[in-house]
Amino acid sequence: MKIEEIFSSKGRIKILLVLLKSGELNISEISRRTGLNYATVNRHLKILEDAGLVVHRRFGRIRLYQIDKSDKRVQVLEKLISVWK
């Protein structure tokens, strides 16, 4: 996936920022913290996961999402955000 496709959505950027700050969260909590509805968050998380920026693990029906810190793009993104702030 191209970088402009990832960063062309305010929703995806909000989700990435929340996950970078908070660590591991379920969809409902991501939705609450970003102000986006559940379906929108779910759709954006799928895109981010397909791009390799986000991973999840399951506990029964609950999915917990986190940034894939092993991805070099995520490491660069963290540096960019720390400098930007």
Domain boundaries defined on the chain: 3-84
Please give the Cα distance from 41 to 21 (Å, whole number). 17
pLDDT over threshold 90, residue 24: yes
Tokens 């996961």 found at: 49
* Domain covering 3-84, topology: Arc Repressor Mutant, subunit A (1.10.10)
Please give the Cα distance from 26 to 42 (Å, whole number). 10
What pLDDT score does 2 carry?
A: 84
The predicted-structure confidence for 31-71, as pLDDT tens digits, reads as follows 999 999 999 999 999 999 999 999 999 999 999 999 999 99
pLDDT over threshold 90, residue 82: no
What pLDDT score does 81 carry?
A: 86
Q: How far is CA 40 from CA 13, 15, 17, 60, 85, in A?
A: 13, 11, 16, 22, 26
Nearest CA-CA partner of 74 in 57, 49, 38? 49
Question: What percent of the chain is modeled with pLDDT above 90?
Answer: 79
Q: Mean pLDDT across the chain, nearest whole number? A: 93
